[in-house]
Amino acid sequence: MDFKKVSKISALLSKSFAEEFLRLLVVYQDISASEAASRLDLHIKTAQDFLEELTALDIVEKNEVYEKKRPYFRYSLKKKKKLSVEVDFLALYDSKGEKNKLELKVREKKNSGAMFSTSVNNDRISSISFFTGEGRKR
């Protein structure tokens, strides 16, 4: 699993209502956003956003249901009731890319309104100062 997907899943699961929300999905098998919002005392938009994000991460599937004339979505967990997250930290390190980053040169653009200050060894940028205005009002 790539790092971006893991961070999105982690952000979702860290929400204060995530545990109760997922419990509802397990107990009721499928639920609409409005039902979940009323049971958890959440705003409907919060429930919809949470369910849509779970759908985008392929944890939940949504089905369109027609009741009278107005369609709405019902959400259910995928067949798997378990989520395993595995991160390969070695995939994050690109030795060729790190070598190339050290060879990059950064130059100040003339009259850009920014000034770069380097460290003692002149191999790193220690601070960047931005100037706005003109003359003494700078």
- Looking up residue 70, the CATH number of its domain turns out to be 1.10.10.10
73 and 9, same domain (yes or no)? yes
16 and 71, same domain (yes or no)? yes
116 and 65, same domain (yes or no)? no
pLDDT at 84: 80
37 and 103, same domain (yes or no)? no
Beta strands in the chain (DSSP E): 30-32, 60-67, 70-77, 114-118, 125-130
pLDDT at 124: 76
45 and 16, same domain (yes or no)? yes
pLDDT at 100: 62
Domain membership of residue 87 (yes or no) is: no
Q: How many domains does the chain have?
A: 2
Last residue of a domain, one of 77, 104, 120: 77
126 and 72, same domain (yes or no)? no
- 95-127: string of b/e by CB count within 10 Å (b at 16+)? eeeeeeeeeeeeeeeeeeeeeeeeeeeeeeeee
Domain membership of residue 84 (yes or no) is: no
pTM of the model: 0.62
Which one, of 4, 16, 108, 136, lies nearest residue 57 by Cα?
Answer: 4
Which one, of 41, 37, 27, 43, lies nearest residue 77 by Cα?
Answer: 27
7 and 73, same domain (yes or no)? yes
Print the domain residue range for 112.
Answer: 94-137
Classify residue 57 by its DSSP letter. T
pLDDT by residue for the chain (138 residues), tens only, comes to 778 888 888 888 899 998 999 899 888 888 999 999 999 999 999 999 999 999 998 888 988 888 777 888 899 888 767 778 787 777 777 666 655 666 666 666 777 777 778 888 777 778 888 777 777 776
